[in-house]
């Protein structure tokens, strides 16, 4: 079934997400559509926001009302209890709600659509309770209208029964043609996915990122339970998030904690945005000095982020001297990506990785990508042939690529893109970051673009800035933004595969790639 929009937008309902996924897997025919009205919560084109899902297909038009949690009906009063144990009561139940929504929808359609089309529509409604069984039997509904007790797992089967019940009730075999189905869908949501401004996609991606990243919390219990851990995952799998959460948990225990990384840029950003008691943020080069300033002889626990940048034997020796009981017996956790993000600062030494693994740490693999949308993941996989994890934060908008640019046309293209993103798509300059390699960065800086500010290791403390940020890929590693404009020489995309991987994977929702001809 074709879903419009292609991802559930800004819904906190796990029940609706379950049904969304089940609908997407039902009915392979192209003439079956499911419209999810929650996508229009704050949109001027919203018409029927009270409908959870609307099915449009050759067999008619059907409103689906979804209620998660526990649902009861006692003496005509409906009680709804969510997953947090919070309850509320209503006189109007989900069946009346769905029926009222259906009639309201048909009235609106009748105002605009021709009578012969309206007369061709079988109409119906149903209620889905994915989390419970409704034991009550009421006069206001027939059993055929209810999907409960786990029957949503075969949603296509239940929908077929609902369609059959509704058609028998109307004593007819009306069927919509493929064109009529498309006409109805077009009326209900005309070219909807092209109407949504990009700022809405950015909001959607951020909501999905939060949801997916919170699911990574389960790894923290494993990490906390083990004295030594290697946590490995690609870009966007939540490594820095977990490093911060681990530091936050440990900070409550009145012990000395160090969160160490190679990049002073990332250190400055984390230190400014996530201050924690008993936690020192430091680069390895400045660690001894930072410990001295705190009056600490050594660290009780060590967290290393972007650990692949510190996988050299001499660097591990320096970490060893700063940790109580050293690396062999001390408590530590390394977050790293040895496959795709190494080599930007230091070449990874296999002997250093072998030494770390020989200490028998618990291994926690992070496979789920929490940052990038599916379209961004697909672009990275296809253009660089690299694995960037599974899932992704929703489908997202297509990646835009512009080729054959010289310096003059690049300047014009950048001005046009920035204007489009701000004026047409409703984004802000602070949501946009321009990335490039060091050589190209000098060329970009010479263009003196309006509303673009070159980021440095000190101003990164205030990131995101009021203006769009211009920064080298290597220095932006560990950071992210809603929109990434990656400017790169066309021939270097594959030549500098790891650099391109880091650049593209910084984008949470919108990625634009501009290729410079040599």
Domains of the chain: 2-188 (3.40.1350), 226-365 (3.40.50.300), 374-516 (3.40.50.300)
Around 214, how many Cα atoms within 13 Å sit in the side-chain half-sphere?
Answer: 7
Strands 123-128 and 87-90: unpaired
Whole-number pLDDT of residue 38: 41
| Closest alpha carbon to 209 in 508, 481, 511 | 508
CA dihedral 204, 207, 209, 214 (to 10 degrees): -160
Task: State both tokens at 206.
Answer: 């951020």
Q: What is the pLDDT of residue 188?
A: 82
- Which sign, positive or negative, has the C-alpha torsion 87, 92, 95, 97? negative
Contacts of 332 (CB under 8 A, 6+ apart): 227, 228, 229, 301, 302, 303, 304, 323
Comparing CA positions, the residue from 481, 486, 474 lying closest to residue 509 is 481
pLDDT the model gives residue 44: 33
pLDDT tens per residue across span 155-204: 999 999 999 999 998 877 889 999 999 999 888 875 444 444 455 544 55
Whether omega for the bond prior to residue 464 falls within 30 degrees of 0, making it cis, is yes
pTM of the model: 0.60
C-beta of residue 32 within 8 angstroms of C-beta of residue 55: yes
Q: Please give the pLDDT value at position 410.
A: 92
* Cα–Cα distance measured from residue 309 to residue 410, given in angstroms and rounded to the nearest whole number: 33
3-state DSSP: the chain helix, strand, coil percent, rounded to 5?
40, 20, 35
Residues of the chain with pLDDT under 70: 6-12, 37-50, 136-140, 190-217, 339-346, 387-396, 518
Give the per-residue pLDDT at 435.
Answer: 95
CB atoms within 10 A of CB 416: 11
Helices 497-504 & 374-384 angle (0-180, nearest 10): 170
- Give me the residue label for tokens 């949801």: 211
Q: Is the dihedral of CA 45, 48, 49, 51 positive or negative?
A: negative
Q: What is the pLDDT of residue 11?
A: 57
Residue-level pLDDT at 43: 33
Q: Quote the CA–CA distance of 159 and 142 in Å, as a whole number.
A: 14
Give the count of beta carbons closer than 10 Å to the beta carbon of residue 270.
Answer: 24
């Amino acid at each position: 079934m074709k879903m419009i929009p292609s991802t559930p937008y800004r819904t906190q309902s796990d029940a609706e997400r379950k049904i969304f996924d089940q609908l997407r897997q039902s009915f392979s025919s192209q003439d079956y559509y499911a419209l999810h009205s929650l996508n229009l919560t704050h949109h001027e084109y919203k018409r029927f926001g009270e409908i959870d899902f609307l099915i449009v297909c050759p067999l008619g038009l059907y409103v689906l009302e979804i209620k998660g949690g526990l649902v009861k009906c006692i003496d005509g009063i409906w009680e709804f209890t969510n997953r947090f144990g919070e309850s509320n009561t209503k006189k109007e139940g989900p069946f009346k709600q769905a029926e009222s929504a259906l009639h309201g929808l048909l009235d609106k359609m009748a105002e605009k659509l021709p009578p012969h089309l309206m007369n061709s529509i079988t109409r119906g409604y149903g209620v889905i309770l994915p989390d419970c069984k409704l034991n009550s039997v009421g006069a206001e509904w027939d059993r055929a209208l209810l999907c409960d007790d786990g029957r949503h797992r075969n949603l296509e089967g239940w929908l077929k029964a609902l369609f059959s019940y509704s058609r028998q009730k109307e004593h007819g075999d009306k069927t919509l043609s493929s064109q009529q189905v498309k006409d109805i869908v077009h009326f209900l949501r005309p070219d909807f996915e092209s109407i949504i401004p990009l700022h809405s996609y950015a909001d959607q991606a951020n909501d999905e990122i939060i949801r997916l990243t919170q699911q990574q919390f389960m790894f923290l219990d494993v990490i906390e339970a083990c004295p030594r851990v290697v946590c490995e995952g690609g870009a966007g799998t939540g490594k820095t998030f977990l490093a911060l959460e681990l530091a936050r948990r440990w900070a409550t225990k009145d012990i000395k904690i160090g969160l160490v990384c190679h990049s002073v840029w990332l250190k400055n950003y984390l230190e400014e945005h996530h201050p924690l008691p008993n936690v020192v943020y430091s680069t390895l080069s400045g660690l001894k000095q930072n410990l001295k300033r705190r009056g600490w002889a050594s660290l009780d626990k060590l967290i290393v982020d972007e650990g692949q940048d510190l996988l050299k034997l001499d660097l591990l020796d320096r970490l060893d001297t700063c940790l109580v009981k050293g690396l062999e017996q001390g408590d530590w956790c390394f977050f790293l990506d040895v496959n795709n993000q190494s080599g930007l600062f230091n070449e990874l030494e296999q002997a250093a990785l072998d030494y770390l693994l020989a200490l028998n740490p618990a291994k926690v693999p992070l496979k789920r990508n929490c940052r990038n949308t599916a379209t961004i993941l697909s672009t990275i996989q296809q253009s660089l042939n690299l694995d960037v994890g599974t899932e992704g934060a929703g489908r997202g908008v297509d990646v835009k690529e512009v080729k054959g640019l010289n310096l003059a046309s690049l300047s014009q293209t950048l001005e046009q893109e920035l204007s489009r993103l701000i004026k047409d798509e409703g984004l802000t300059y602070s949501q946009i970051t321009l990335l490039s390699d060091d050589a190209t960065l000098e060329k970009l800086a010479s263009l003196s673009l309006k509303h673009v500010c070159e980021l440095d290791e000190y101003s990164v403390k205030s990131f995101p800035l009021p203006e769009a940020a211009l920064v080298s890929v290597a220095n932006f590693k560990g950071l992210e933004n809603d929109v990434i404009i990656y400017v790169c020489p066309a021939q270097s995309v594959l030549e500098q595969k790891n650099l391109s991987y880091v650049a593209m994977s910084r984008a949470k929702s919108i990625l634009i790639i501009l290729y410079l001809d040599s």
